Structure 1
Amino acid sequence: VLSINPFKIVEANAEYQRKERKRWSGEGAAMFLFQLPEEVILLVLSYLDPRSLCRLSQTCRRSYQFISRDAVWRKIAKDIINTGLTRQGIDLSHSISLKDRVKVSHNWINGVCRKEILLKWKTNMLPWIELDHDVLYISQAANISAYHLRADGGKLLNSRVALFSGHQEDVCRFTLTDTHLISAGGDGKIIVHDRRSDYSVVYNGHNQEVNCIDSKGGVIVSGSRDRTAKIWALTADRFGQCLHTIPTYDRVWSVAISPSLWYVRVIYLSCGKVQSIPYKRAYSISSRTFPCRNLCKFSLN
């Protein structure tokens, strides 16, 4: 019978480990990549594409931890869409790592997705949706419903957590701020809902359906089929007041307030005999009096 002394196995393993440490710590010993200074490692990794970075991160725990840093993926994230990085390098989504955002962007570009039915209606509808953290807001006819997303797989919980109503016709568009949900409807109304209570205020200023809306920094901008774009106050001292009306040549399809709050982009459709050409106009905004001045007009084609 062959007998094995477990203590001798432990001693042999310890001796092997000592020899290995001595081997790699002596003069002329090879240096691993992740034993180099961080600046050198970042320079080396900057020459790798996303696929190579992912494969390298699977070699050991040290490489995985280092390659998961945002500094490794910042240069790659600037060159692809929807990663939350502006052209100036400002990160708008700190809660999600750049590595995960680059992964989602590549899947989006290449059409890699998992198809699941979250909600289903009997009639064909094209709702407007907004995702705020783990709450999904969906327009359904004249109402807007809010659902919690589950952490496992992103499925919706069965129970609805909030319902925002008040429109007589379908909701065309809505936008979210930290405190309000602002909806634009086919009835020409703009409704400002308090997200923390049942309080809401109706803005009446358009004669036809309101196709688009945006809000930033205490200002609301709306665009309508009545060939106008309007700027509204959302501050407590001027709540519900129309600050300025921007006349356009045709119905307004899209409005957007710049992050700096210096100007508003208005896109409308100028209809001609041969073809319809969309135009974009930028209007300046003064933070005090909100006068509008036409800055530029150019064809999107």
Structure 2
Amino acid sequence: MNKFLDDIRFIMPLVNGFVNEPLQESGYDIKSPYYGNSFFPRVLREMHFRLGLPFKCIWFNNANVTKKEMLFLSEALIIPDYLDWLHKKNPDSKIIIFYTNKVNYNNNPNKLKRNWCSIWTCDKVDSEKYNLNLYDGVAYFKIYKVKKEEPIYDVFYIGKDKGRLDYLLSLEKKFNDLGLKTYINIVAERRWFSKRNKRYRPIMPYKEVLENLGKSKAILHLSQGAQYGITMRIMESLIHNIKLITDCSYLVNYDFYNENNIFILGKDDFNRLSEFMNTPYEKVNAKVLEHIYFEDMLKYIVKNVNEKSL
């Protein structure tokens, strides 16, 4: 095991397969913040938290009360009571919170700010709005490879609804009208929402996502409800050399922008999309590709946190 990572415990929901699986496979120390992670106990736990009832600590995972130099938390599910409990139990540990999602009402970082806690995001807008530390990129894992095959799909999309179902379906129709083959996998915001519309699909395991990327000419990425910056879909495009179709017009300001690789909806002529799809991907040199992996991100953040604590 990497000695650098020996000193870090990762505290995050165990359902996040993209991060959990490679960490667990590598033997890294990863724990859930809470007990009760199967369906019914989780419902009870969420009710307990949302109703503001006392003794929330009965749900806090005591496996996290062992000495580590760094405690690295995903913001998902973290509540202020848990954060204060964790610091009290581990007063000598440096606590880092990383926002893997955009800030919303339920995960407002102002509720989690403490003078002993360092909070990070990869969203530029959230960084400025909430005065958070910025990591400009999304960390990827070296184990994730794409095996290129003869393309089956022109456009591949995977993601949650986030209020954009109608827009996605309208885009799908436009793509199909151009004769493009699409795979649009829309996941409902809540599991039970899938009963309302037959177009919703189950969450796709990331290994299956990689297989579909290998069979696709382009990835579709929409900014609505997504982070403002270098997102996962953008990183997949850059790392695996797959074209990107997106409405993120701000990408023209990055050094990796290449009009032969990135088609910007609302800016580029939609009637030329078929022409764009039929030209080869052009490899690029970009600053973000110098620190694309999870360990790169950790080293950058830990170095920054250590320097500020001197």
The TM-score bracket by the shorter chain reads under 0.3
Larger Rg: 1
TM-score, normalised on structure 1?
A: 0.25
TM-score, normalised on structure 2?
A: 0.25
Structure with bigger strand share is 1
Instruction: For CA contacts below 8 A with separation 6 or more, give which structure has more relative contact order.
Output: 2
